[in-house]
Chain A
Amino acid sequence: MQQLPLRNTLSMLNNTFLPGYLSQSENFEELPTQSDVVIIGGGLLGTALSYYLAKSGVEVTLLERNDLNREASGTNAGSFHFQIALHQLTDNMTDADDKRLAEETKLMLDAAMLWDDIEKELDADLGVHFTGGFMVAETQEELQVLRDKQRIEEIAGLETQVMTGNEMREFAPYLAPDLSGIAFCPREGHANPLLVGPTYAYRAHQLGAKIRTNCEVIRIEQITGIPGFRFKIHTNRGTILCNRVVNASGAWTAEISSQLGLNLPMGLSGLHVNVTEPREYFLEAMVQHIGRRLTLKQTTNNTFIIGGGWPSREEKFPLRYSNFWESAAGNAAVAVRVLPMLKDVQLVRVWSGVWAYTNDFKPILGESEKIPGYHIAMVPTGFTLGPMVSRMLAEYMSQPGAKGLIPNEFHVDR
């Protein structure tokens, strides 16, 4: 077995910056009076969609009430989660579940291929690294889950290896030696979540997309009588006519859709994230836990980012979600259990982000049949899948009448 490559450089402190910034004056330019497509929301999905649409020659305007990338898109840890994870499992796994998991894994592989090429596509350093990812198990039952999921992943075409005992300890000597086993997926990795969305927006802007920040949508009005336009979008900076609208407002997708009488099957939760001081770089791969809430990785800035689904307190926009000490305490306990050397590493800061999920954890993607022209782009595992589903929707929208591009189970009116 190949040894996990270790980078021995003491410090990899390298600051990556955006290829360019949309200036405040451009952001504040007058709203266009009309646009074929209006995207609501300047997060990862909205910015990626604006890029792919602009690239296909579609006239597109993106409206963001705040700065770009400020909510879930910029507050997540930037991990690519391709392995089957805790939240996808149910208590009593059936054959149907196996089939579902295989489908979900195939989708992850599509996303992996997009991430492979994204830096070339956007001609920018986005901190993309394919470092591999661990899924660790503490108990024999959890080890069995690792073996079961490996079988499903193999069917779907995602390579993972399960290791135990000395093989595990040799492969990952820094992990707790008494873990019952680990799965390793070489495809996993991460990108810098603070750069991906804004870079999409900047490239979209260069392709002619109009990006407007500090522009809040107050009301979506359905109109008739003006040929070629089905919606009038009322904002704090005036109105704009459009033929198609895409709601890509993340946590606020349901709130905005309810204006039009749509009731989306989604909920919100606050997620807690910890970040530590930098230490010598040694942990190339991301670490997750199959039975407890943990995601953990060392960034290229040498800090450790630790999360995995611990809650934070829900607040109303524009307040940021506030953190519970218990989330830090519980999360740190799992992290130290799995990677014991972390116990002497200092926590520098916590933060939290809003997480929007659907009841079946599947994306809501595509055009509403009830309200033609009204589209939704929303995905629970947003960072990993976001760019891919945006590209999928852009393909659908730039080939009017195209069917079959978007899986049925993502249906907006489900």
Chain B
Amino acid sequence: MKTFDLVVIGGGPAGIAAAATASKHGLQVAIIDERPTLGGQIYKRVGPGFKVKSAKEVGKDYFLGEELINELENSSVELFLETLVGTIENSAVVIVRNGESAERLNYKKLLISPGAYDRPVAFPGWTLPGVITAGAAQSLVKTQRVNPGSRIFFAGSGPLALAFPAQLSGYGANIVGIIEAAPRPGIFKALRILLAVIGNLDLMRDAAKYQFHLISNRIPMTYRRIIVSANGKDRVESVTHAKVDKNWRVIPGTEKTVEVDALCVGYGFFPSVELFRLLDCELEYEESRGGAVVKLDNWGATSVANVFGAGDGTGISGSYVAIARGRLAALKIAAELGKISDKALSTLAAGYQRTFSQRTKFQRAINNAYEIKSGIYELADNGTVICRCESVKLESILPVLESTIDPSVVKAYTRCGMGLCQGRNCQRQISALIAQKHGIPISQITQATPRFPTKPIKLGQIADATVTSEKYFIDAE
């Protein structure tokens, strides 16, 4: 069984940067990703059979990503693509490659950069065909050049609420409207963001460019409005949106309905904390970075020995921070394994530390300006499906909330969270319902016990006939 100096889980910006940097300093590195190509969400490559012809069309990020991926592919890092992580135990990552049986990758150091996923928001009609997340829409156009519809409406919040529609529109999508739940940035917020801008000018330029694109393409964008429902029989035919107060609660009587055939929902992201939780890494709660996030020191070390984290899976901070943190963690790991001196470490790290702190400041300012408000959890009505895997409606959940403050109990009684998505779609909503019902901050609601596998895996790939009960049970009594 091979032991790697470093195993990296997740081939997005953070993971690629970390793996490439570590390899450059002489470490034996493996990188694991579930997709067939590297790049993560932001640097997602075009699908098989597609070719990039015009740089303008795909945007600047694409080439930044290509550069980073090339750096990795020209290194000696061992790639494990189309590979899922089953679990992590005894300093080994149990992986399952496409179609093959599970195997173990032993590591001296582990870096987890699993990325984030779209925040699911439950509102009447959110499970109708034609309603998709912003991330899914982005993947569709990036990899397959498919637009999600011919009349696309975009509801969301955050800096990407501008970027996604602009990007989609750049691909030729017909966007009929955009609503942003947060208010138009006021003078204070704008100032705070501006103060953080020093060293982040290119990001501001991007934002301005998106804004300009939307204006010049006459795409109507309104602030302080939220999605109320997606309407239609077999698929979305129209959407209703309404004005909200400062807590994003709907102001009755302000509803408007628009005919659409696709609705993209983008209210930010949740970090994928599953693997950190499985390893029992210490977490903290910060709403503006996506809720429960792993605690990291300045180098990216978690509270568990030899385990590091980087990227949006450790709290939403964007690709620039992700790359800087990935490189910083890799340098620290190289130093800990004696590949570079402490002096070299501080020299090499200086530039990345600067980027990390500047970008973090900027990202904080942005995140705070667009922090999610509790009204987002109050859109569902009694008949709204909360757990879409198990088809559990709000009306079945409400009575259970009377008797418990533990989401695991809600899960046990209603099956909410037992399905294929492993609770990713409904657990935050359940926590919010409990928090609201019992007057407890959402940050203090316990989460279901972490269990493997972190993604569904076929039994045939897990099965190992060499593990027999005779061999395995030392003492059955």
Give the interface of A toward B (CB within 8 A): 13, 15, 17-18, 20-24, 27, 67, 69-70, 74, 194-195, 198, 267, 274-277, 292-293, 301, 303, 306, 309-311, 320, 323-330, 332-333, 335-337, 342-351, 359
A343 pairs with B409, CB closer than 8 A:
no
Complex Cα gap A326–B102 (Å): 11
Q: Which residue from chain A places its CB closest to the CB of B400 in the assembled complex?
A: A21
Given A15-B396, A15-B414, 18 more pairs with CB closer than 8 A: A17-B399, A17-B414, A27-B403, A67-B403, A67-B404, A70-B409, A70-B412, A277-B420, A292-B468, A306-B459, A323-B87, A325-B102, A326-B472, A330-B468, A342-B459, A343-B463, A346-B456, A346-B457
Render B372-393 as a binary contact track against A, CB cut-off 8 A, 1 for contact: 0000000000000000001110
Residues of B within 8 A of A344 (CB): 458-460
> Which of A74, A277, A306, A324 contacts B89 (CB under 8 A)?
A324
In the complex, the answer to whether B420 meets A333 with C-beta atoms within 8 Å is no
Q: Which residue of B lies closest to A332 (CB)?
A: B463
> Is A325's CB under 8 angstroms from B422's CB?
no
A-B contact count (CB 8 A): 142
Residues of A within 8 A of B406 (CB): 67
Indicate whether B438 reaches chain A with its CB closer than 8 angstroms: yes
Q: How far is the CB of A116 from chain B (nearest CB, A)?
A: 25
Bound CA–CA A292/B467 (angstroms): 12
B128 contacts across to A, CB distance below 8 A: none
Complex Cα distance, B401 from A24, in Å, reads: 8
Query: Closest approach, in angstroms, between the C-beta of A317 and any C-beta of chain B?
Result: 13
| CB–CB B458/A345 < 8 A | yes
Q: In the complex, A324→B472 CA distance in Å?
A: 11
Secondary structure of the A side of the interface? mixed
User: With A and B bound together, what is the CA distance between A337 and B463 in angstroms?
Assistant: 9
In whole Å, how far is A201's beta carbon from the nearest beta carbon of chain B? 10
A201–B97 CA distance with the chains assembled, in angstroms: 47
11 examples of A-B residue contacts, CB within 8 angstroms? A21-B413, A24-B438, A194-B412, A292-B468, A324-B89, A325-B86, A329-B102, A329-B467, A330-B472, A332-B463, A351-B449
A158 to B400, CA, bound (A): 39
Contacting pair B409 A335 (CB below 8 A): no
Of A22, A24, A337, which is in contact with the most chain B CB atoms at under 10 Å from its CB? Answer: A24
Contact A359 B420 (CB under 8 A): no
Q: Judge whether B420 and A330 touch: CB under 8 Å.
A: no
Q: Judging by beta carbons under 8 Å apart, are A13 and B390 in contact?
A: yes
Q: Tell whether, in the assembled complex, residue A67 and residue B459 are in contact, meaning their CB atoms are under 8 Å apart.
A: no
Q: Does B418 contact A (CB under 8 A)?
A: yes
Q: Give Cα A311–Cα B477 distance, bound, in whole angstroms.
A: 12
The 3 residue pairs across chains A and B that have the minimum distance between CB atoms: A343-B460, A330-B467, A329-B464
> Shortest Cβ distance from A131 into chain B, in angstroms?
20
Q: Are B469 and A330 in contact (CB under 8 A)?
A: yes
Contact B402 A24 (CB under 8 A): yes
Contacts of A306 in B (CB 8 A): 459
Contact indicator B460/A292 (Cβ below 8 Å)? no
A337/B465 in contact, CB under 8 A: yes
Q: Which residues of B contact A333 (CB under 8 A)?
A: 463-465, 467
- On chain B, the residues within 8 Å of A13 by CB distance are 390-391
B94 on the A face (CB < 8 A):
yes
